[in-house]
Structure 1
Amino acid sequence: MSKENITMEDRIETAIRNTQDLYLSDTLPWVVGYSGGKDSTATLQLIWKAIAALPVDKRSKPIHVISTDTLVENPVVAIWVTNSLIAMQKAATEQEMPIIPHRLTPKLEDRFWVNLIGRGYPAPRPLFRWCTSRLKINASNTFITELANNQGEAILVLGSRKAESQARDKVLARYENSTRELLSRNADANLDRVWVYTPVSTWTSDDVWEYLIENENPWNYDNIELFHIYRGATPDAECPLVVDKSTPSCGDSRFGCFVCTMVSEDKSMQAMIQNDEDRRWMMPLLSFRNEYLKTEGDRGLREFTKMGGSLQLQFLGVKSGGRTAPSRPGKVVSEKVVRRLTSTSDGEEGYPMPNRKVLVLETRVVEGDGETRETTYKIEKIATLVHGPYTQNYREAMLEALLRAQETIRNNLPESISEFSIITPEELEEIRRIWVIQKREFEDSVPDIFLRATGKAYPIPELDETTPFRPEDIRLLRDVCMDMAIDSPQSGPLDSKQLLFTVLRNQLGIQHSYRGAIRRVGLHGELEDMLETRSFDNEDEALDFALQRKAGGNELMYEMRDASDVFAYIPEEQPAQELEV
């Protein structure tokens, strides 16, 4: 059959025939990835209809349908998927289908609010995308891996599609008389015993919609309603008939986590709220995302130490005339601070504050022509501290705002939705445990925040684990620190009084951790380390301390000298190549 004569009916028949042949060819269990979107719905519908056409005694191989709920999905889509899985289970039983739906969720310690608000991870960004594996990949991979290990191998069915229409018919023709050729090896090394089958990979977005609208859903769910969800997620609330490549399609709508910061704004949720008055109850979610989940300009909301309390330096290229110095070949393997060239923050626009201009020995390794070459440069750079987790104040503010948003939504839910939660009680209690036990924030502020935000008493009055101090005692310590007359300019997210309170509270926590021990070996070392590495009046002091330690403990010169004097400071046994900046 020539590609000009291949119709949509031909594609459907070929996909169903291939699916049946593949299903009957071996005993490997199947796993179908289902997100509730159009592609995964079309894929599952094809699989369902193909297997339903087989005699009941041939439907012996289980087909697991897995849907991973990150618990921060677009609520409309999350509710749609949950109800779809319920309908799927009922229909599979009634129709004697070997289909087993599973709703997967992340482990408690992997969940979004536990890491963002509990541990203080900054909102995900390209260089720190901590959410994807924790929320989506881990749960599904664990399920698939366990199944493959038990059965030897497994087949993963996905709704992935290719965009090239010319390749579409070529692949169809090649697959007409094959079964194993329909499969491909999984690109993920962790799933090397899992084959991949993509029955709609050659379909266009409009092929998918045509199939869904013109063919009844086999688990008695409404594909037209799915179409309306997509239409409502486009700014103009339209899904036009596509007549050429310039016409937009409903397939351009994208759903996902409403907290996603990999995109600048959640256009699908904005469009839903704009286009449908019955969905304006989601407005508090959109407002929370836009106000609190920022990936730019959040430096002042984060501690100047890393998660474990360490200081990490970052060296930035010096700009000259608005341009950064030319890049040097190779990979940086070491940076040694030789001289501090300024004693105060450099006020040039574009650098994080506070910062210092320093002279650095930068060693780079260049690989090429079968050999490795190492080159060391003397170069001026701007040193600053890498900021770590969100501060306690900001984490507490986020939690209160989130709980208030949840209360507002619950008071404005449409009749079609009986209950709704943004954050679960288990997540709240895990956040509480992290704050009190891991971060030594003995104020135990979660119950008070919950009361302020909801007007209700927190349901769990005490932590399961014994807390060393009463919250009111720690609040008294904080009040005493805030009343102290400390004359030190603030630099960084916390002032000197807040820093003093944090150090004292941590020292109390360290002392308590040795309580009851027969030998307190290590106690003095931990206390001294806390005083040495955390007792700063402000971020400027912390930056100077980190630079001095980076220089090997040698006292750094503060004043800027003549360039020849500066370069002469480099020890002769460490020859370096000078580079103009």
Structure 2
Amino acid sequence: MDEAIQELLAEIRELYLADGTPWVVGYSGGKDSTITAQLVWMALAGLPVEQRTKPVHVISTDTLVENPVVAAWANRSLEAMRTAAAAQQLPIEAHRLTPELEDTFWVNLIGRGYAAPRPKFRWCTERLKIRPSNKFIIDVANKYGQVILVLGIRKAESTTRRRTMERHEKGRVRDRLSPHGSLPGSLVYSPVEAWTTDEVWMALMQYPNPWGHSNKDLLAMYRGASEDSECPLVVDTSTPSCGDSRMGCWTCTMVEQDKSLKAMVTNDEELDWMRPLLALRDALDIEDDRHLRDFRRMNGTLMIHRDRLVHGPYTQSAREDWLRRLLEAQTKIRARGPEYVRDITLITLDELHLIRRIWVFKKHEVEDNLPTIYEEATGEPFPGRPLDETIAFNAAQSMIDTLREVCGDDEEEFLRVRALLEVERIYNSSTRRAGLYDALEKVLMKHGFEDEEDALAFARFRRGEPAKEQGALF
């Protein structure tokens, strides 16, 4: 394999010296991105210092809900890259990218109430992964006119990946450079596109990591994430490869179960502290979560599918419960976990502050329960000031209690009156009251039903369907 590696290093050097277009190397800390970054590093190290003029950016996107072990691994690797690149006089810059605050997983799930991602509602990938990296790439392309993306994608990963790569190959403008499917001014170079998983591992074991991060430890991490705790390298086609381990977001509900997280907890006693994460992930991934979600869509509209209302965002009680569980998991890990996770952050204070504002100002949940939930779950006072001293309900829990008492068990009546009072409060403190009636009408349209059955009857009537007897839905 050494001869093939040397030929590939020569190819990388030739492409690097061909023009002044900067490179952006995608790095996740996994095996494919590691060998790709390592090959680029080795190729540049083989050039005279005076020829190492073109910048090479290594970007790693941290979704903030990555498997904590993998996230820590990737962050340590980026730090090692920065130190080693400076010491070896290489034009390599390592960057850790994160989603915008508005796009984070918990702001959308706990704050706005987006249901846990599903194949038909995959709202997470675009916000957490694609936007941060695309923004960086576009900024580089705008500055230099063009950018070359060096990615560790391989045709052997999946049939879909192979077809996509082959389709883009047809548009190649230069040898080994394919146009990016959605980023103008970006060309893609995939040096290990034809490699098998076993070839990736053999190369990682044969060549030491040039920035000082142990490839053997990477292998051990993959082995720990495999259910059988094994990770064969030289195998026949019937032998499962270590590359089948999937290590992504610990909150991921796009798969039936997080086998890698479960395997890590099972195979390594030192990782038993991650059990609260596994429990919370499994709680998010329930087959039927209709009882946790509002019967209206996010914008308050009604939609019928298969003679039932399509449920929308999580209810207030469900969102508060998810927050409480998350903070309790964080508190438990900090208290009982090993020293290196004593300051682990599952949800940032910035996220908590934004969630609080969404609950109070966007969803009219003027009880402002977040500080109380935080204190109950962590045993510490919430590190934030009152949102707005003019909010009447903010300091008048007795008014909420009175409203609850008057409405009794009629939850819809409570939500309706609470929202109407909050809209009136907002406009009462404004110098101009234009739009008040529209805002009140919007509340009445959203909360104008006695319950879900009443809303379903209205939706059927609006579609021109004949009325059905009460209880027919069930």
| TM-score of the superposed pair, with normalisation by structure 1 | 0.76
Between Structure 1 and Structure 2, the one with more strand by share is 1
Given that 1:123 and 1:295 are in contact with CA atoms closer than 8 Å, whether structure 2 keeps it comes out as: no
State whether structure 2 residue 199 is matched by structure 1 residue 210.
no
In structure 2, what is the Cα distance between the partners aligned to 1:90 and 1:102? 13
Given that 1:25 and 1:179 are in contact with CA atoms closer than 8 Å, whether structure 2 keeps it comes out as: no
- Matched pairs, number: 460
Given that 2:334 and 2:341 are in contact with CA atoms closer than 8 Å, whether structure 1 keeps it comes out as: no
Letter of the structure 1 residue corresponding to residue 179 of structure 2 = R
Matches within 5 A, 1:428-443: 428-443=352-367
State whether structure 2 residue 464 is matched by structure 1 residue 542.
no
* Equivalent position of 2:319 in the other structure: 395
From 410, 414, 420, the counterpart of 1:501: 414
State whether structure 2 residue 56 is matched by structure 1 residue 66.
no
Given that 2:460 and 2:467 are in contact with CA atoms closer than 8 Å, whether structure 1 keeps it comes out as: no
Between Structure 1 and Structure 2, the one with more helix by share is 2
From 303, 313, 317, the counterpart of 1:313: 303
Given that 1:481 and 1:498 are in contact with CA atoms closer than 8 Å, whether structure 2 keeps it comes out as: no
* Equivalent position of 1:300 in the other structure: 291
Letter of the structure 2 residue corresponding to residue 255 of structure 1 = M
- Displacement after TM superposition at 1:92 (Å): 0.3
Q: Is the partner of 2:175 in helix, strand or coil? A: helix
* Equivalent position of 1:40 in the other structure: 33
Given that 2:141 and 2:147 are in contact with CA atoms closer than 8 Å, whether structure 1 keeps it comes out as: yes
Letter of the structure 1 residue corresponding to residue 402 of structure 2 = V
**Structure 1's 11 and 559: CA in aligned 2 closer, same or farther, altered over 3 A?**
same
* Equivalent position of 1:282 in the other structure: 274
In structure 2, what is the Cα distance between the partners aligned to 1:130 and 1:233? 26
In structure 2, what is the Cα distance between the partners aligned to 1:179 and 1:227? 36
Matches within 5 A, 1:135-534: 135-163=128-156, 180-188=174-182, 191-291=183-283, 293-294=284-285, 296-310=287-301, 312-316=302-306, 382=307, 384-417=308-341, 419-463=343-387, 465=388, 468-473=391-396, 475-484=397-406, 497-518=410-431, 520-534=433-447
Letter of the structure 1 residue corresponding to residue 363 of structure 2 = K
* Equivalent position of 1:364 in the other structure: none
Q: Is the partner of 1:537 in helix, strand or coil? A: coil
Q: Is the partner of 1:181 in helix, strand or coil? A: coil
In structure 2, what is the Cα distance between the partners aligned to 1:559 and 1:263? 39
Letter of the structure 2 residue corresponding to residue 297 of structure 1 = D
* Equivalent position of 2:24 in the other structure: 31
In structure 1, what is the Cα distance between the partners aligned to 2:58 and 2:463? 53
In structure 1, what is the Cα distance between the partners aligned to 2:442 and 2:187? 52
Given that 1:436 and 1:467 are in contact with CA atoms closer than 8 Å, whether structure 2 keeps it comes out as: no
For 1:291-336, what per-residue CA distance to the aligned partner results, in whole angstroms no more than 9, with x for missing partners?
1x135210111011121222x22242xxxxxxxxxxxxxxxxxxxx
Letter of the structure 2 residue corresponding to residue 72 of structure 1 = V
**Structure 1's 461 and 516: CA in aligned 2 closer, same or farther, altered over 3 A?**
closer
- Displacement after TM superposition at 1:10 (Å): 2.1
Q: Is the partner of 1:103 in helix, strand or coil? A: strand
Letter of the structure 1 residue corresponding to residue 55 of structure 2 = P
Q: Is the partner of 2:352 in helix, strand or coil? A: helix
**Structure 1's 529 and 150: CA in aligned 2 closer, same or farther, altered over 3 A?**
closer
**Structure 1's 480 and 252: CA in aligned 2 closer, same or farther, altered over 3 A?**
same
| TM-score of the superposed pair, with normalisation by structure 2 | 0.92
For 1:111-147, what per-residue CA distance to the aligned partner results, in whole angstroms no more than 9, with x for missing partners?
0000000000000111111000000000000000110
Letter of the structure 1 residue corresponding to residue 276 of structure 2 = P
Given that 2:24 and 2:149 are in contact with CA atoms closer than 8 Å, whether structure 1 keeps it comes out as: yes
Letter of the structure 1 residue corresponding to residue 304 of structure 2 = Q
In structure 2, what is the Cα distance between the partners aligned to 1:559 and 1:213? 69
**Structure 1's 559 and 385: CA in aligned 2 closer, same or farther, altered over 3 A?**
closer
Question: Structure 1: any 5+ residue segments left out of the alignment?
Answer: 1-7, 172-177, 317-381, 487-495, 561-581
